[in-house]
Amino acid sequence: MTHPELTRADLRCLAEALAEARRGLAEGGIPIGSVLAVGGRILGRGHNRRVQEGNPILHGEMAALQDAGRQPARAYRRATLYTTLSPCDMCTGAILLYRIPRVVIAERRTFRGPEALLRRRGVQVVVADLPEAVALLREFVAAHPGLWCEDIGETAAARRKGRRARATVATRRRPVRS
């Protein structure tokens, strides 16, 4: 089932972002891809190349913006950024800087960036929740937990501790008494 807000152009651009993610994985990198488009016309595409190029800022979204090259402000203000994973703080900052009005996210189960900030700043955030995107990232994280933690700026110990803390809080929930 597809999200009701997704058009054919959205689905095509998400498929291109997923293809970029798979390219990144095939190159030995982290499988996150992105596409920047205006009216369904792709301006730029890219995938996470942090590992391949040893560059800490080459997330998929940043690579798509770089591939698009210099654009007039009006192009960004009509654009949609498609990404296979919820944008991190850095990529969210680029979305806000260029005033990109719409972001379509293939999946956010593996990682959830500051989507609420995007919404508060007027960005339409659409979460497609594509099973193939979820599977791609989950398989990668299971096979390469250290590399994944490096990419999201977290230590493996902190990630394990965070999961335990969330599980503990979930089991401590008490019924509300009136």
For the annotated catalytic residues, the residue numbers are 61
Report CA torsion sign: 58, 63, 95, 166: negative
Contact between residue 31 and residue 48 where contact means Cβ atoms under 8 Å apart = yes
CA dist., res. 36 & res. 127, Å (int): 16
Tokens of 29: 């990198």
How many residues are recorded in the chain?
178
70: its two tokens: 């210099």
The C-alpha atoms of residue 35 and residue 17 are separated, in whole angstroms, by 5
